[in-house]
């Protein structure tokens, strides 16, 4: 049995599955909380609490680590980033100021960097560094 790179169809499937998992986890942790908290001094915070965002990040570690440990690094990075980007866009796009685009951009960059770092660590610990999958690397 060979332990090479997964087939392109399997990589594509991993991207789709991780995107779906990310969308579902966003909905579970953040999708239900849409109201801002008004404090006695009139200031507002929210709609999310810190524990919700931390919970989302920690639960996303499971599928990202699982995918990266099985050499589905593309799925772990691209799928998770795409899922979180789509979820944040759908959740915030009703903002009339248009500033939601900055938030979506920050979610995209942050999730890309975080999932790439986690995937690299998992692959290094597994002893199988991620290899490029392009035709030029063969």
- Predicted confidence at residue 76, as pLDDT, reads 95
* H-type alpha helices, the chain: 8-26, 50-69, 73-74, 80-92, 100-126
- Is residue 2 predicted with pLDDT exceeding 60? no
What's the CA gap between 6 and 12, in Å, rounded? 10
62-87 pLDDT tens trace = 999 999 999 999 999 999 999 999 99
102: left (phi over 0), alpha (psi -120 to 50) or beta: alpha
pTM here is 0.83
């Amino acid at each position: 049995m060979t332990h090479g790179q997964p087939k392109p169809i399997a990589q594509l499937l991993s991207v789709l599955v991780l995107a779906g998992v990310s969308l579902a986890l966003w909905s579970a942790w953040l999708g239900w909380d849409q109201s801002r908290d008004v404090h006695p001094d009139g200031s507002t915070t929210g709609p999310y609490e810190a524990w919700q965002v931390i919970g989302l990040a920690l639960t996303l570690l499971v599928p990202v680590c699982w995918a990266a440990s099985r050499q589905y690094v593309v799925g772990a990075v691209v799928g998770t980033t795409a899922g979180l980007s789509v979820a944040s866009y759908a959740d915030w796009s009703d903002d009339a100021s248009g500033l939601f685009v900055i938030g979506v951009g920050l979610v995209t960059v942050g999730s890309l960097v975080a999932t790439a770092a986690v995937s690299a660590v998992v692959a290094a610990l597994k002893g199988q560094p991620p290899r490029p999958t392009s035709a030029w690397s063969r």
